[in-house]
Amino acid sequence: MWIDTHCHLDAAEFDADRDAVVQRAQRAGVTMQVLPAVEARHFEAVRALAHRHGLSYALGIHPLYVDRAADHDLDQLHQALQRWRDDPRLVAVGEIGLDFFVTGLDRDRMQRFYAAQLRLAREAGLPVLLHVRRSADMLLKHLRLIEVPGGIAHAFNGSAQQAEAFVERGFCLGFGGAMTFDRALNIRELARTVAEHAPVLETDAPDIPPHWMYRTAEQRAQGQTSRNEPAELPRIAETLSQLRGWSLARTAEITTRNAGGALPRLAALLSEASA
């Protein structure tokens, strides 16, 4: 069993063949996906997809969309978390966080939305799915002020010290397509050395394609695409298996257990499915 802990199945890139994407993933052994929302207008869509395909979902406002979000979108998130608080497929608040890589964004507004969503997660008793891009220290600063029940630091690429700080706060670290590139030295070293209870697997589909799907700018200009899919997860897992010296079976076992530990409602879904 493989779990894709971060897949944007609601993205427009999947509009033409979404059902086939899910079927390919299932044939590849990816039996569960976590579908995080990125905007308030996506809340209904990710929930509907999760129920339609037997998957799970998270609700949140992505830091890259904060500048175009309305303040009342936070009220919509609060209302959605209340409305669906007993939905077993709602496993986290996310995708939330901070992005200090993209220039021109309102950092103060981004931090206000992040802090507000941490408070909502704490109120709901849910873990969080964190967007971490050159922002690990500030994310941790807010987490010290607003404690939440752990979660996953998605697409993690911070320092070993930052990784340890997240793990100590009950977070797992998400590893995906970027890990498959030989030149991604920091990510690969983190994947190799973090505590066994820390790594989980993800695709971030349709984004962050693994190295075998990468297209140069020239190739993209010629119309070639590099859409990532959850069906790529087992092959991505081979890289983690090699880096850790684990068998594929052990890699699946460990990462599945870790995902369930980070997202308790997900663990309940998996237990129910295997019963």
pLDDT tens per residue across span 60-89: 999 999 999 999 999 999 999 999 999 999
Give the residue-averaged pLDDT of 176-199.
98
pLDDT at 224 over 90: no
Q: What is the mean pLDDT of the chain?
A: 96
Task: Report the alpha-carbon distance of residue 43 to residue 10 in Å, rounded.
Answer: 10
Enumerate the H helices of 107-245 as residue ranges: 107-124, 136-145, 160-168, 185-193, 217-221, 233-244
Q: Which tops the pLDDT comparison, 217 or 270?
A: 270
Q: 19-46, pLDDT tens digit by residue?
A: 999 999 999 999 999 999 999 999 999 9
pLDDT at 275 over 80: no
Q: What residues pair up with 57 in beta bridges, in sequence order?
A: 35, 90
pLDDT at 235 over 70: yes
Query: Percent of the chain, pLDDT > 70?
Result: 97
And the tokens for 37?
Answer: 């929302």
Return the CATH architecture of domain 2-274: Alpha-Beta Barrel (3.20)
Residue 134: what residue type?
Answer: R
Q: Is 263 helix (H, G, I), strand (E, B) or coil?
A: coil
The torsion angle over the Cα atoms of residues 51, 54, 55 and 60, rounded to 10 degrees, is 10
Specify the pLDDT at position 214. Answer: 82
Q: Are 25 and 233 in contact (CB under 8 A)?
A: yes
Label residue 130 by pLDDT band (50, 70, 90): very high
Q: What is the pTM of this model?
A: 0.96
Beta strand residue intervals within the chain, DSSP E: 2-4, 30-36, 56-59, 90-99, 128-133, 151-154, 171-175, 199-201
pLDDT at 231 over 70: yes
Specify the pLDDT at position 218. Answer: 75
And the tokens for 213?
Answer: 């799907």
Give the residue-averaged pLDDT of 136-148.
98
Specify the pLDDT at position 223. Answer: 66
Label residue 272 by pLDDT band (50, 70, 90): confident
Sequence-separated (6 or more) residues with CB below 8 Å from residue 88 = 265, 268, 269
Task: Return the axis-axis angle of helices 160-168 and 185-193, rounded to nearest 10°.
Answer: 40
pLDDT at 50 over 90: yes
Buried b (16+ CB within 10 A) or exposed e, 55-81: bbbbbbbbbbbbeebeeebbebbbebb
